[in-house]
Amino acid sequence: MLPTKPEDLPPRSPKANNEQAPGSHGGNGGPQMAQLDLSRSSSIVTSRAPSTVGDGPVGSGAGVAYSNNLWATSASGLSYHSEASQATFVSTICQEKEQQKWDSDEELKRSSKILLKMQKWSLLVGLSIINVAIIWVAVQFPQSYYFTVVLLTANTALQALMIIFICTVAFWTYGLSRLWRDKPKKPETPETMVWLLPCYNETLGELTRSLDSLVAQKKVDENPKFIMIVVDGNVRGPGMEKTTQRYLLEDILGPGTFVHFENGYRAHDGLFMAIDAQHGTYKGVPYLFVGKRENMGKRDSLCFTRSFLHHYNRRSENLETMYHKELFEYMGTLLMQRGIDKVDYLAGMDADTVFDDYCIHEMLEVLRADPKLVASCGHVCVDYADNKWGAWSMYQAFEYSQTQGLRRTFQSVVTGKVNCLPGCCQLIKVCEETFGDLILREKFGYCPKPNDPMTTQIMGTYSEDSVHATTFFSLFPETMTAQALRAKAFTIVPQDWKVFLSQRKRWSLGSISNQFTMVFRPGIMFVERIISLVTVITWAVTPFTVAAIAHLVIAIIRHGNDLWKNPPFLSLFSVLVVKYIYSLGLVFWLPRNATEQVQYVLGYIMHIFVGPFINLFIWIYSLYYSDDFKWGKTREIIGGDEESGRLLFH
C-alpha cells in the first residue's frame, strides 16, 4: 500500500529538504530536479524510500510508485525518491590491467625484425634473379661464353696464381735461403703466456681432454703460464647430467678458493654481469675459473680476457674499463702471485679441441722468427675420435685442408696477412694493436643495435676470428700474422646434416660479410681487396656455378672428344686442373701418416662429386635463415641449474 499522506513519509535528508526531487511539486507547482546523495561512499549509490507523486493525479492518469527502486514512474515521467534504503548495485565486471598501450623496446625489436626480413628477401630474391638471368644468357647466347667463363674461372684463376707464388716462395724460403738462415733464438727471458679456454655447454669428456692437452704441452716448461677458463652461462646440453660450470668445479678442477662478484664487469650488452670465480692449480698449472651468470657469447668472453691482459700490462690507472675495481684487482693479484708481471702472449683454444703436444711451441717458434708478427695460428685438423672412416669427418677434413693449405698458406708466406686466426688454435701477442680499447671496445666489441643493417648484425654475432684480424689489419696496416702448419689441433666436427648446416651458415655469412667489408675498409692491402672481391662474387653466383657444372657433365656425355676443340671448355679445364693437382699434392705434406693420407684422398674424391651441390644447399640455407642469429643445432642446450632448483650463483 503506497503512502498517501506527507506525514507518512520518512524524514528527508538536509540536502533533500533544500533541493527538490525530480518530479515533485515545488512552491510554484512546477517539477524540479533533485541531486543524488553520494555522501556515504563513492562506490555506493544511496537509494531512496518510496514516495508519492504530488497530492494526486498530474495531468491525466494515476501516479504509480515502486518500492525498493531508485525512480518512481508517473504519468508525467520519472520521479527520484530521495529517501535511503539498503539496496546496492552488484556487477561482475573487472578492470583492465594497467599496461602501456605499446612498449618502445618491443616496437623497435618488431620493426627491426621486419627490416631484417626485408633485407633477407631482397638479397635472396635479387641474387636468385641474377643467377637465373646469367644462366638464361649462357644458354640462349652461346657466344657470351667469354663473360660466363670469367665468372666461372675468376676464383680458380686466383687460386692458381696463389699456388705459383706459394711454390716460388717455398722454394726460396725452404730451399736456397735455408742454407744461411739462422734458426729462431730463444729470448733470454722466457715469454709469459695465458692460456684461454672459453666454454659454453661442453661435456665432461670434452672439457677433460681439452684441459689435459693444455697442461701436457711440451717445450714450454720454462715459460710462466696461467690458465683462464671462462664459461658462458650455467647451462647443460643434451645428455649432460650437470652444467658445464658444475662439471668443471665439481669433477675436474676440484677444491679451490671460491669468490663471488655480484657486479663483476660490464658485459657485451652494456649491463653488469655477476660472476663466480675460483682459483687454484690443475695438474701443476695455476688457473682461474670465471663462471658468468648469463650467456653473452664467445665474443664477450674474448673481450673480457683480452682487455684485462692489456690493461694489466699497462697498469691502467684512473681509466674507465669494463671491470669492477675489486674483480680487476683480484685477477691482477693472481697473476702477480704467480710471478707474471707482464703477459706476452695469449693462447686460445676451444673446449672441444685437443692440442698436439707441441702445438703452442710451434706457434711460438713462428712468432719468434719475425718481430713484425703479432699473431699466429695452427693447423686445425678433424678429430676422427672412434670413427676413422666416417664420411662426414673425411669430407670436412678435406675442406679444412683446402682452406689452410691454399689461401691461408698464401697469406702466411706471401702477404703476411692471415685474416682468419681460428679461435680453437691461436697465439696472439698482447699489445695495443691487438687488444687495445680501440680494437676491443669500439670495433670488435661493438654490440649491434636492433636496427643495424644485416651485415653489421652478422659481423657482430659471427666470425669472431676473422673480424678481429681484419679489424687490426685495417687500423694498423703494418701488423702481420702467420700460420704454423706444424702446430696441430684436433677439433670435433658435425656428424649430421642439421648441425652441419647450422655451423656452415654461421661460417658462410660471417666470412662473406667480412670479405665484403674488406673490399672497402681503409688500410687493407690491394691484393687482399682483390681476393675478397672475387670471393664475394664467386659466392654470389653459386647457383650459376652448379648449373654450369651440370651442363658440363651433360656436354661430356653427349659430345665426348669434341669438347677438346671447344675454347671455353679448354680455358676452364686448364685452370681447374692446376687447382685440383695442387689439392691432391697436399696429401704428401699436410697429413701426418698413411692413415691420414688415405682419409684425405677419400675426402678429396667425395668433394669432387658432391662438393658443389653441398655448397649450393649451404648457400640457400644461409640466405633463407640469414635473419636468424641463434646458434640453432650447433650448440643446443636443454636448460640450466635453475630447472632443477640448484643455483650456482648466490
Compute the distance between CA of residue 407 and CA of residue 412 in angstroms, rounded to an integer.
9
Burial 452-480 (b: 16+ CB within 10 A, else e): bebbebbbbbbbbbbbbbbbbbbbbeebb
Residue 60 placed within a domain: yes
In the numeric block, which cell numbers belong to residue 458? 652478422
pLDDT digits (tens, 9 = 90+) for 387-406: 889 999 999 999 999 999 99
Q: Which residues pair with 228 in a beta bridge?
A: 196, 288
The pLDDT value recorded for residue 30 is 43
Q: Does residue 436 form part of some domain?
A: no
Segments in the chain below pLDDT 50: 1-78, 633, 643-647, 649-650
Instruction: Tell whether 68 is covered by a domain.
Output: yes
- How high is the pLDDT of residue 557? 85
User: What is the structure's pLDDT at 147?
Assistant: 84
d(CA 348, CA 156): 32
* 24 found inside a domain: yes
32 in a domain, yes or no? yes
Residue 82: the pLDDT is 52
Decide if 166 is inside a domain: no
pTM of the predicted structure, to 2 decimals: 0.81
Crossing angle between the packed helical segments 526-540 and 542-559, to the nearest 10 degrees: 70
pLDDT at 551: 86
Q: What pLDDT does residue 16 have?
A: 41
pLDDT at 2: 43
By residue range, what is the domain housing residue 32? 1-83
E strand or H helix at 487: strand 480-491
Please choose, from the candidates 417, 626, 477, the residue with its C-alpha nearest in 3D space to the C-alpha of residue 539: 626
Residue with cell 676464383: 155
* Cell numbers describing residue 427: 697465439
Q: Considering the domain boundaries, does residue 539 fall inside one?
A: no
Task: Give the 3-state secondary structure of 230-245.
Answer: EECCCEECCCCCCCHH
Number of structural domains found in the chain:
1
Q: Is residue 13 part of a domain?
A: yes
